[in-house]
């Protein structure tokens, strides 16, 4: 048997929606993107949405719209994808890494507290694998020091913890619609925020700092546009948005299927030496990862692939990657929990189209190679 690491969920309706855009006048940011933003606001319960072309851009635009820049520090967990920290650098600020909870892999609020300095401007937690960071504790910390709170929700469209959903306690939450994410269009992203002003500024920054976008210039009689500030170029076009609009209606059903697979995996690994991270609250169930003996992890990856099981590593601790080591002087031992997870992690196939038989095959194969 061969079980792919990932298969997407786009259907014929999504494809038809793209074809409709291709037959229309507008290809770039226009009515379909506006429709997606409206529906995403409805789904998240957060009124202001800006669609952009990646989560990385969403986080950078958010930080810049909040006024975070040179001289400022932003607290970021060491166990995440590199973009959670590079967006801070692109905004002109300094990422200050902190360690994570050893069981969930999410930012440890106490480690974040110890990292606060007079230069700290924001905390940027990551909802790793779909499990939300402890937003209530982080909100308290942010209030104590008057810091912004920005969520990396690349893994967590559907999650909830302690009655809190993404975007509800923070200044903004940023999403990725990258090819393998729970809501996907190839490349795309969005920010949601309770503050209308943050969305307005981020929108300006995301399109050259121009006072009107193409749709605004197209409708009605000609009027000059102005350049109000120095901006970037990361707006989401209608072609990509067309893939997203109807997926929103299927999100909960797709989540339910992943939840069933998650339970099947958990049962299959119970009582074995296949360790797993802890799930707290309702996980968005983006990734299913297992933790191997660090001395054997790198040998188990090809063994699983050779048995037909697609694998990935999400993630190795970012402070040990070359650029971070060379730029910030990080070294092994700086963030032991993040390192331990990074040295042990193996991500397994986990998507709604995966069958029960495929899931069982992965369980059997993983149990076999872990036994050695």
Positions in the binding site for ligand PLP (CB under 6 A)? 54-56, 80-81, 83-84, 126, 152, 154-155, 176, 178, 189
Q: Taking the complex as a whole, how short is the minimal distance between the CB of residue 354 and ligand PLP, in angstroms?
A: 19
- Specify the residue, 87 or 261, whose C-beta has the smaller distance to ligand PLP: 87
Q: Taking the complex as a whole, how short is the minimal distance between the CB of residue 187 and ligand PLP, in angstroms?
A: 7
Q: Taking the complex as a whole, how short is the minimal distance between the CB of residue 77 and ligand PLP, in angstroms?
A: 9
3-state SS of the chain is: CCECCCCCCCCHHHHHHHHHHHCCCCCCCCHHHHHHHHHHHHHHCCCEEEEECCHHHHHHHHHHHCCCCCCCEEEEECCCCCHHHHHHHHCCCEEEEECECCCCCCECHHHHHHHCCCCEEEECCECHHHCCCCHHHHHHHHHHHCCEEEEECCCCCCCEECCECCCCCCCEEEEECECCCCCCCECCEEEEECCHHHHHHHHHHHECCECCCHHHHHCCCCCCCCECCCCCECECCHHHHHHHCCHHHHHHHHHHHHHHHHHHHHHHHCCCCCECCCCCCECCCCCEEEECCCCCHHHHHHHHHHCCECCECCCCCHHHCHHHHHHHCCCCCCCHHHHHHHHHEEEECCCCCCCHHHHHHHHHHHHHHHHC
Q: Taking the complex as a whole, how short is the minimal distance between the CB of residue 82 and ligand PLP, in angstroms?
A: 8
- Specify the residue, 126 or 207, whose C-beta has the smaller distance to ligand PLP: 126
- Specify the residue, 106 or 290, whose C-beta has the smaller distance to ligand PLP: 106
In angstroms and rounded to an integer, the radius of gyration of the C-alpha atoms of the chain is 21
- Note whether 239 and 268 are within 8 A (CB): no
Tell me whether residue 371 is one of the annotated catalytic residues: no
- At 114, give phi and psi (nearest 5°): -70, -20
- Note whether 192 and 286 are within 8 A (CB): no
Q: Taking the complex as a whole, how short is the minimal distance between the CB of residue 23 and ligand PLP, in angstroms?
A: 28
Q: Which of 121, 181, 201, 203 is catalytic?
A: 181
Name the CA dihedral angle for 179, 182, 183, 186, rounded to a multiple of 10 degrees: 0
Where do we find the tokens 């963030």? 335
Q: Taking the complex as a whole, how short is the minimal distance between the CB of residue 103 and ligand PLP, in angstroms?
A: 18
- Specify the residue, 178 or 370, whose C-beta has the smaller distance to ligand PLP: 178
Q: Taking the complex as a whole, how short is the minimal distance between the CB of residue 165 and ligand PLP, in angstroms?
A: 18
- Specify the residue, 17 or 54, whose C-beta has the smaller distance to ligand PLP: 54
- Specify the residue, 44 or 365, whose C-beta has the smaller distance to ligand PLP: 44
- Specify the residue, 121 or 155, whose C-beta has the smaller distance to ligand PLP: 155
- Tell me the catalytic residues: 181
């Amino acid at each position: 048997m061969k079980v792919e690491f990932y298969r997407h969920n786009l259907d014929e309706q999504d494809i038809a929606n793209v074809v409709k855009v291709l037959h229309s006048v507008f290809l770039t940011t226009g009515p379909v993107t506006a429709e997606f933003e409206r529906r995403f606001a409805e789904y998240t319960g957060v009124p202001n949405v800006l669609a952009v072309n990646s989560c990385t851009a969403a986080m950078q635009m958010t930080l810049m719209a909040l006024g975070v820049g040179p001289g400022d520090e932003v607290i970021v967990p060491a166990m995440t994808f590199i973009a959670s920290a590079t967006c801070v650098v692109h905004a002109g600020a300094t990422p200050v890494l902190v360690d994570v909870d050893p069981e969930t892999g999410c930012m440890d609020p106490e480690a974040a507290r110890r990292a606060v300095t007079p230069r700290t401007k924001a905390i940027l937690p990551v909802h790793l694998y779909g499990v939300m960071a402890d937003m209530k504790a982080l909100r308290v910390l942010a209030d104590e020091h008057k810091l912004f709170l920005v969520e990396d929700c690349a893994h967590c469209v559907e999650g909830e913890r302690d009655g809190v959903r993404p975007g509800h306690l923070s200044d903004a939450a940023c999403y990725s619609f990258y090819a393998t994410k729970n809501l996907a269009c190839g490349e795309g992203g969005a920010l949601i925020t309770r503050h209308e002003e943050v969305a307005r500024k981020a929108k300006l920054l995301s399109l050259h700092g121009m006072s009107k976008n193409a749709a605004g210039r197209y409708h009605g009689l000609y009027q000059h546009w102005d350049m109000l500030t120095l901006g970037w170029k990361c707006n989401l076009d209608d072609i990509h948005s067309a893939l997203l609009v109807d997926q929103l209606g299927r999100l909960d059903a797709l989540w339910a299927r992943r939840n069933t697979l998650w339970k099947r995996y958990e049962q299959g690994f119970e009582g074995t030496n296949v360790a797993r991270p802890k799930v707290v609250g309702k996980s968005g169930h983006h990734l299913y990862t297992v933790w191997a003996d660090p001395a054997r992890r790198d040998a188990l990856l090809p063994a699983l692939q050779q048995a037909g099981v697609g694998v990935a590593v999400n993630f190795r601790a970012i402070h040990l990657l070359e650029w971070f080591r060379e730029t910030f002087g990080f070294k092994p031992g700086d963030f032991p929990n993040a390192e331990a997870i990074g040295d042990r992690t193996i991500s397994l196939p986990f998507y709604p189209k995966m069958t029960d038989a495929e899931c069982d095959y992965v369980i059997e194969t993983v149990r076999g190679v872990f036994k050695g």
